[in-house]
Structure formats: structure tokens, C-alpha cells
Structure 1
Amino acid sequence: MSISTSPAAGAPAARRTSVGRAIESAARAHRSIPVLVVLAIIWTVFYSQNSAYLSFQNLTNLTLQIVTTAILALGVVFVLLVGEIDLSSAVLSGVCAAVAAGLTVNSGLPLPVGIAAGVVAGMAVTFVEAQVIMFGIPSLIVTLGGMVILQGLILVVLPPEFTVSVAGTPFAEIASTTIPAGSSYALAAAGTVAFVAYRLFQHRERLSTGASASVAAVVLPCVIVAAVLFGGVFTLTQQRGLPLPLLILTAMLLIAWYATTQTRYGIHLYAVGGDREAAQRAGIPVRRMVLYSFLVLGVCAAVAGMVDASRQLGVSVTSGSGPLMLNAIAAAVVGGTSLFGGRGSIWSALLGALVIGSINNGVQLLGLSTEVQYFATGSVLIVAVAIDVVLARGSLLPRRR
């Protein structure tokens, strides 16, 4: 009996081991690939329903629509990487925009002064939230309460009429400014050259350490980046030119990428998110890393709010409300950032914003009801979190309690 039953007992264990290995491999793999596949499917479906979906004009509109979500999602990524969460940054973006617009339009101060004041306001709020969180109160509760407080604060910051119009002011030029085609192609060429130089430097570093490195690993990414940059410039310059908000987003993504991948700060950031206790035993300043992440979120919220106010030509009590917070969190998670901390990439903010924005744009273009948009966004978020849970525990089955 023992001989006949042992294979049957060992087979399920072997199968579980094989599945576990596959899940671990997926967790280590580049998680942007499934996101790109989903994005391609979304574009194909909406294009089959309306050929105008992939027109130059609609792609330009899509780009402008996702900038605010992507910038805010970038800040959310930093907070998620250290294992925290924030629910107040969308409303905070409205408060920062109200501060900047009020000083620029109503008080007549120069635009740089208003922008600086908005950024300082965002950092001040997230600094206070981080201090309360480090005291031991869960970030979910702190930021939920902060969201309610900020909804009242925006009423205090706004003038008695509860609105600030920026139409016809320098503030409105933030969203309306475009880069001519010639300068846009020059920027694309500079970006391509910089990326090629970076990949060649990495290739040389690998060879110097004796590691194997193929030329294809250098050439293929460079070709892809060049195609994306020049293709994007070609598409966006068919209308008015390369939008300034897109350049702002690109600059913020590059700075964040460098900070998280090429500096000690980035190593500490992922270490804190991966295992906070182990990071603390290794001498990493955990509390300081959490504070830094929330300060970055404050900057991103301020910039997102000001870009959105410039695009909407005004600030009101509804600024930062609606689905913005949901879309920002969904963009970060759908793009591949883990809700459990320690896993994710800065570029997930952009990819996730593209997925969420593509759904919203397609629903609006087809004239579908708003509830379809919410159904689709919520479903994508749930699926993304479910995948993240499976990757985090390394099994398709829930753990036994």
C-alpha cells in the first residue's frame, strides 16, 4: 500500500512546486510586458469600434488627459514602494493648485513664486502626514482623515466665490505651451543618444567584470527607445506640437528613475518596502525613507494639481475630486507596483496611466455611459491586485490559517 500511494502523494507536491516556480519566475520577470499586451488589446478593441481612436488628434488628447494622473501616480508609486498608501493626494493637488493660482492671479505674484508656493504647500502637508504615520497610526487612516481635512482646507484657501480663473494668465500657458516640431525632434535625438550611451556604459561595465553580455541586449533596447521617441514626436507634432505638460512628466520620470535605480536612496527605498525590520537591522533609516517618499508625493501632487488647473483654466472646490485618486492608485498598481511594498518601477506610473486613460478615452469616444468607465477601471484594478497577491505569496492557492 505504501508503495502504491507514494507516487500519488508526491505528484500534487511536484505540481505545486512547478506552479510555484512559474509564479516566482513571473514575479522576477519584467512586469511591463503584460501591461503593454493589455494596452495593445485595449487599443485594438476601441479602434475596431471607432477608427478615430488611433487618429493623431485623439492620441494627442489621450496624452494630455493622462498627464495629471501619471504625475500623481508617480508620487503614489514612491509611497507604495515603502509599503504605505495615500488617499489624500488628489485633494491635496487641488489645494496646491488653489494656493499657486491664488498667489499668481489674485495677488499678482510672478508665476515661479506661485509654483514654488504650491510645491511647498504640498510638501508641508505630506510632511505632517508622514510624522503622524511614523508615530504609529496606519497610513490608510491618516490619509483618509487628511483627505477630509483637505476638502475643508480648499474652501479656506479659495476666495469667497470659491473659484479662481486662470484664463488669459501666464498660469494657463503651462498646459497650452507646445514645443515646435524641429525642437521636438532634437529632443528625441538627444534622448536617444543619451540612452545609447547609457546602454554602452552598462555593456562595458559587464564586460569589465567578466560577465557575459551580448550586443543584441544593447542594440534592441536602443532601437525600441528610438522608435518610441521619434514615433511619439511624429504623432504629437501632427497637431500643435509637443505639449509642455508631457515634457514635465518626462523630466519627472527620468529624475525619479535615476534616484531609484542609480543611487543609494533607491536601494534603501526597495529594502524598506521589501522587509522593514530587516532594513532597520541593516542600519537603513526606515523612518527617514518613509518621510522622503511622502515628500516626493507632495511634490508630485502639487505639480499634478497645477498642470490640471492650467488645463482646466481654473481652480474650484471640485479640483482634485472625482475619480482622480482612484485612477492614480489604479495606474500605479496596474502598471506593476505592488501594494505590499518593495516591488515596482517608476515607469509603472506611466504605463498604468496609459491603460486607465485609454479605457476612459475609449469609453468617452464611443459615447458609452459613465458607469461603463467605472466598471472597466474597477475591474482592471481588481485583476491587477489579484495578480499582485498571487505573485506576493508565490501560490495560486490561499495560505492555510
Structure 2
Amino acid sequence: MTSTTAAPAVTTTRNRVGRALETAARGHRSIPVLVVLAIIWAVFYSQSAAYLSFQNITNLTLQIVTTAILALGVVFVLLVGEIDLSAAVLSGVCAAVAAGLVVNSGLPLAVGIAAALVTGMVVTFVEAQLIMFGVPSLIVTLGGMVILQGLILVVLPPEFTVSVAGTSFAKIASTAVPAGTSYALAAAGTIAYAAYRLFQHRERVSTGSLTSLAAVVVPSAIVAAVLFGGVFTLTRQRGFPMPLLILAAMLLVAWYATTQTRYGIHLYAVGGDREAAQRAGIPVRRMVLYSFLILGACAAVAGMVDASRQLGVSVTSGGGPLMLNAIAAAVVGGTSLFGGRGSIWSAILGALVIGSISNGVQLLGLSTEVQYFATGSVLIVAVAVDVVLTRGSLLPGRR
């Protein structure tokens, strides 16, 4: 009797766990990331009150801009079930192209920016063609990374460096939006978001769904608090940094494309089940191509922003841990490595987590090993959670 009654109880418990994991996989994946971020901030703040000072928060946000922009492009590629290891080096190549045209050739900044964007998209177009031919994206982009490391040596002048100090190129990072304009943009963003939520509320009411105005007021209040709080914090120095405004604009465009258009529906369908999407008439090959083109554009922007902040381009541009940090940011932020699940907001959330660890380690004067241990541990835990959510069970799969 005991074993007979215990079996249904265990089955019921497993079903409940499975349903809970399925719910977590569908949404609210940003909540654990925010909790982890709060813990990281609390730990470092307990060690140094300067960690959450206005100046350090501004430094932190500027430090993560390049990673967040590159991670945004990585999110699009991960959503269709692919991966790219060459985007960081590509960002350095694009920056070298733009800086060379603006500084060495004396062309307008707009021409340099356009050339960098075209370079990034042409490279990822070629990579996408090979991937659609059947070569695994891991191998294509790994080989592409090596080729691009040689290409940057070709693009750079004989001294292998281009200084952009004192040029229009440097203004990309040095420009600051006045506080008044920043608050006006925050107000416009809040109004636009509230109108969007109100429109959704009216649509649900017209279809007979029972919803309250709290579904409009509460999210709008949260967005207003984030926007105005961010502007208040980041304009304490000399204004809202232009790189952050660029990142915000890219996030908004990406959010609209992935949530409010047919492209977004097809994007998640291809990542969720490529064969089913193909049978449904969705152009799978084209969606993969679009994702890589977006990554190419993001890599170009990330490279130019970073070069403007560093006041130059060299053979080390796009190197170091940038690529791994971008992939880690996308995954830690909640985008699945298995495709079909995630949000563009995971780029900024994951970049904040990775950047907060790095910033805290530097502020406290800890060894670099601590940063590597902490970042690697967070990444492993994030992937483990993603595996559990994908499987829908805490139990390991059968082999």
C-alpha cells in the first residue's frame, strides 16, 4: 500500500516541477538574473561604499557598452540556434576600416561609419552562406576569427595602429547629451511605453479577457523609475553619455523587431524547431542570414564605440575576453544556447552581471583570478539552468 500510494505522489511532484520549469522557460527568465545582479552589487557594496557611487555606476555602464552591443548581435544568432566566435575580431576590423578612412584618408565620419557597417555585414554574409551550405557555424566562425586576425593586420597601416584622438571619430564616445534633453527622452519613452501597454489592455478587453488597469500602471511605473533613475544617475557628471544612448536606441529597435513584427515570430519559430518552421513555410535560410547580418552590424557599432573610447585602433582591438564575455552576457542574461528562447534584454542584463563582477574586482584591487573564477562560475550555472529549463526536469536525461 505504501509503495502504491507513494508512486502517484512522486509522479504528481515531478509533474508540478515540470510545469514550474515550463513556466520559467516561457517567461520571467530575467528575474533570476536581476536577483544575481542584486547579490553581486550587495556583496561588493559591503566591501566598498564607493561601488554604488554615481561615478562608479557611470564607469560601470560605460565599461559594458561594447560588450552589450556585441552581445545584442549574439542574441539574434543564438535565437536561431547558431553561434559566432568571430564577431569580436570582426569589430576590430570594422573599427580599423572606419578609423583608417576618417583619420588617414580624411573622409567624413558618416562615410567611415557606413564603410564599417558594410564591412561587418559582408563578412557575416559570407559566413552565413557557408553555414547554410551545411558547414557548422562553430567551425565557420572559428576559421573566420583566424582569418580576421590576419585581415586586421592588412587593414591597419604599417605601424599597426591608428590614433583617433582629436578627430570627429573620438566624439562618438566623448559626446554627452544634456540633462534636460535626457529627461525629455526619458519622459517620451515612458509615455510611449504606457501607451503601448494601454493599447494591449484595450485589445484584451475587446476580446473578452479579464484584465485590470494595474497591468498598465505597474509596468509603466517601473519603466518610468528605471528611465528617470538612470538619467538622474548618469547625468551627474556632464550629461548622458552618447554610447549609452546608442545602446538604448539599438535595444529599442531590436525589441520592436523581435516582439512586434512577423520577423520576430519567424525568428523564434526557426530557433524553436527548424524543421517545423520549414514545413510551415517560414524561410529558414533567410532568417539565419538576417541574424548574422544583424550581428555584423552590431559588431561594427561595437568596434567603433570601443575605438572611440580607447582613442585608437590596434592589432589588439576586438581581442582579449571580449568574444567570450559577449557570449557569456547573452547566455547569463537568459538567452538559450539551444535556440528559440531568450530576449534582447538579456544582452544588457548579462553584460551588467559580467561587468559588475569585473568592475568590483578592479575597484577592490583583487587579483584577476577572482574575476575569472566568478565569471566562469556564473556562466556554468546559467548554462546548467538553461539545460534544466530545456529538458523540463531536474532529473538527468537517459543515456
TM-score (structure 2 length as normaliser): 0.99
CA distance in 2, matches of 1:194, 1:8: 54
Aligned to 1:284: 282
Please report how far the alpha carbon of residue 13 of structure 1 lies from its aligned counterpart in structure 2 after TM superposition.
Answer: 2.5
Aligned to 1:158: 156
CA distance in 2, matches of 1:132, 1:75: 19
The structure 1 residue matched to 2:271, chosen from 260, 268, 273, is: 273
Please report how far the alpha carbon of residue 80 of structure 1 lies from its aligned counterpart in structure 2 after TM superposition.
Answer: 0.3
Aligned to 1:54: 52
1:251 partner amino acid: A
Aligned to 1:145: 143
Where do residues 242-321 of structure 1 align in structure 2 (5 Å cutoff)?
A: 242-321=240-319
Please report how far the alpha carbon of residue 293 of structure 1 lies from its aligned counterpart in structure 2 after TM superposition.
Answer: 0.1
1:149 partner amino acid: I
1:30 partner amino acid: H
CA distance in 2, matches of 1:181, 1:201: 30
Aligned to 2:357: 359
**Count of residues in Structure 1 that have an aligned counterpart in Structure 2:** 399
1:171 partner amino acid: F
Aligned-residue CA RMSD (Å): 0.9
Please report how far the alpha carbon of residue 331 of structure 1 lies from its aligned counterpart in structure 2 after TM superposition.
Answer: 0.5
CA distance in 1, matches of 2:2, 2:159: 83
CA distance in 2, matches of 1:52, 1:377: 22
Aligned to 1:136: 134
Aligned to 1:116: 114
Please report how far the alpha carbon of residue 367 of structure 1 lies from its aligned counterpart in structure 2 after TM superposition.
Answer: 0.5
Please report how far the alpha carbon of residue 4 of structure 1 lies from its aligned counterpart in structure 2 after TM superposition.
Answer: 5.3
Answering whether residue 384 of structure 2 is matched by residue 386 of structure 1, we say: yes
Aligned to 1:191: 189
The structure 2 residue matched to 1:64, chosen from 62, 67, 92, is: 62
Aligned to 2:169: 171
Aligned to 1:221: 219
CA distance in 2, matches of 1:133, 1:168: 41
- SS of the residue aligned with 1:164? strand
Please report how far the alpha carbon of residue 285 of structure 1 lies from its aligned counterpart in structure 2 after TM superposition.
Answer: 0.3
Deviates more, 1:379-388 or 1:13-22: 13-22
Q: Deviations over 1:169-207 (max 9, x none)?
A: 000000000011111111111111111111111111111
Q: Deviations over 1:55-110 (max 9, x none)?
A: 11101101100110000000000000000001000000000000000000001000
CA distance in 1, matches of 2:38, 2:374: 16
Aligned to 1:395: 393
Please report how far the alpha carbon of residue 19 of structure 1 lies from its aligned counterpart in structure 2 after TM superposition.
Answer: 2.0
The percent identity for this pair of structures is: 86
The structure 2 residue matched to 1:34, chosen from 32, 35, 41, is: 32
CA distance in 2, matches of 1:60, 1:241: 11
CA distance in 2, matches of 1:8, 1:349: 44
CA distance in 2, matches of 1:19, 1:193: 39
1:276 partner amino acid: R
Change in 2 beyond 3 A, CA 1:5/1:232:
closer
Aligned to 2:200: 202
Aligned to 2:180: 182
- SS of the residue aligned with 1:343? coil
Change in 2 beyond 3 A, CA 1:397/1:116:
same
- SS of the residue aligned with 2:212? coil
Deviates more, 1:283-292 or 1:363-372: 363-372
Aligned to 2:336: 338
Please report how far the alpha carbon of residue 371 of structure 1 lies from its aligned counterpart in structure 2 after TM superposition.
Answer: 1.4
Please report how far the alpha carbon of residue 42 of structure 1 lies from its aligned counterpart in structure 2 after TM superposition.
Answer: 0.7
Q: Deviations over 1:29-51 (max 9, x none)?
A: 31111111111111111011000
Please report how far the alpha carbon of residue 314 of structure 1 lies from its aligned counterpart in structure 2 after TM superposition.
Answer: 0.2
TM-score (structure 1 length as normaliser): 0.98
Aligned to 2:103: 105
CA distance in 2, matches of 1:211, 1:194: 23
Answering whether residue 8 of structure 2 is matched by residue 10 of structure 1, we say: yes
Deviates more, 1:102-111 or 1:202-211: 202-211
Please report how far the alpha carbon of residue 282 of structure 1 lies from its aligned counterpart in structure 2 after TM superposition.
Answer: 0.2
CA distance in 2, matches of 1:163, 1:303: 19
CA distance in 2, matches of 1:4, 1:372: 50
1:362 partner amino acid: G
CA distance in 1, matches of 2:323, 2:67: 8
Change in 2 beyond 3 A, CA 1:162/1:16:
same
- SS of the residue aligned with 1:315? strand
CA distance in 1, matches of 2:2, 2:353: 52
Answering whether residue 229 of structure 2 is matched by residue 212 of structure 1, we say: no
2:276 partner amino acid: A
